[in-house]
Amino acid sequence: MGAPGLLEESRVKASPPVGSGGTVAVPRPPSKPWDLPGGTGQGTLKLEVSHFDLWYGEKQALFDINLRAHERTVTALIGPSGCGKSTLLRSLNRMNDLVDGVSTAGSVALDGQEIYTPDLEVELLRRLVGMVFQKPNPFPKSIYDNVAYGLRIQGERRPVVLDEAVERSLRASALWTEVKDRLDQSALGLSGGQQQRLCIARALATGPEVLLMDEPCSALDPLSTQKVEDLIHELRSTCTIVIVTHNMQQAARVSDRTAVFLMGVLVEEGPTEKIFTSPDRKETEDYVTGRFG
């Protein structure tokens, strides 16, 4: 089901040339293997948020959000604490359904299908749109059982299928070599960085097409952070990624496009390099240069 009426507002403009204004000193490596032509948001549209509002009870937290994410891109959501980044992220797989008193208006479409419809199978949605949280949250189960969890919930019992999925997911999250000899041990015995990669493996096991990451590195040391960032670059070839981060350098390193939020409003969205070097909006410049927030 498409929603052509809602697709008219075009937030994704053709990328203008990046100016030499150079307002912000955020380092971005000159060229990377994932800087492929067409890799900056011009592919197939995956997620489209249109005129989306959200209220917690009486209090409105998101105002008329319009945002698009294309296949095989990484979109960073940035902005000061309390501006609605996590709220928007959770809206993309209807995690906010779990919060009492939440109401929404407007549209979120995945592959052109509206997700805010009463008959939507939310479990299926969350299988397609996986989520990784700020704090690693492994279950108090073995490493194997953590990764196999989602598939078992779906009714998968065949050991050969589960074994294959566990190994594939742990390899994809760059954890396999560290844990392959201790799969039956508790996940709680892993380091924080390993736990976060385990949670990514758990999210990957059910084959998501979109991965939502809410400050996935904020509890990690620099080495673990680098591993997760490397992982994001690799996952980008199969997934659409939306990541919340407070770390400007991280947004600059990992994302193709960046959306800047202030007080529940998306003030500017565009190619990451442009957002950090020659933004259109004064509020964006003030935020990315650390003048407020």
Q: Which residues lie near ligand ATP (CB under 6 A)?
A: 56, 61, 79, 81-87, 99
Chain residue whose CB lies nearest Mg ion: 86
Among Mg ion, ligand ATP, none, residue 254 binds (CB under 5-8 Å by kind) = none
Supply 172's token pair: 């994809």
Residue range at the interface with Mg ion (CB under 5 A); choices 82-90, 122-130, 180-188, 205-213: 82-90
> Does residue 284 touch Mg ion according to CB under 5 A?
no
Q: CB 85 → Mg ion: shortest distance, Å?
A: 5
Give the span between the Cα atoms of 204 and 241, in whole angstroms. 12
Q: CB 204 → ligand ATP: shortest distance, Å?
A: 23
Whichever of 103 and 185 has its CB closer to ligand ATP, that residue is: 103
Among Mg ion, ligand ATP, none, residue 179 binds (CB under 5-8 Å by kind) = none
# of chain residues touching Mg ion (CB under 5 A) = 1
Tracing tokens 């030499």 back to the chain, one arrives at 20
Binding mask 35-74 for Mg ion (x = CB under 5 A): ----------------------------------------
- Tally of CB atoms within 10 A around 238: 15
Give the span between the Cα atoms of 184 and 267, in whole angstroms. 47
Give backbone dihedrals phi and psi of 278, rounded to 5 degrees, phi first: -145, 65
Helices 143-153 and 159-172: angle between axes, nearest 10 degrees = 120
Among Mg ion, ligand ATP, none, residue 55 binds (CB under 5-8 Å by kind) = none
Give yes or no for a contact between 69 and 276, defined as CB atoms under 8 angstroms apart.
Answer: no
Give the span between the Cα atoms of 246 and 266, in whole angstroms. 16
Q: CB 161 → Mg ion: shortest distance, Å?
A: 35
Tracing tokens 């939502």 back to the chain, one arrives at 212
Give yes or no for a contact between 279 and 15, defined as CB atoms under 8 angstroms apart.
Answer: no
Give yes or no for a contact between 271 and 257, defined as CB atoms under 8 angstroms apart.
Answer: yes
Among ligand ATP, Mg ion, none, residue 56 binds (CB under 5-8 Å by kind) = ligand ATP
Q: Measured in whole angstroms, how far is the alpha carbon of residue 83 from the centre of its chain?
A: 16
> Does residue 224 touch Mg ion according to CB under 5 A?
no
Among ligand ATP, Mg ion, none, residue 19 binds (CB under 5-8 Å by kind) = none
> Does residue 86 touch Mg ion according to CB under 5 A?
yes
Q: Measured in whole angstroms, how far is the alpha carbon of residue 99 from the centre of its chain?
A: 20
Whichever of 79 and 150 has its CB closer to ligand ATP, that residue is: 79
Binding stretches for Mg ion (CB under 5 A): 86
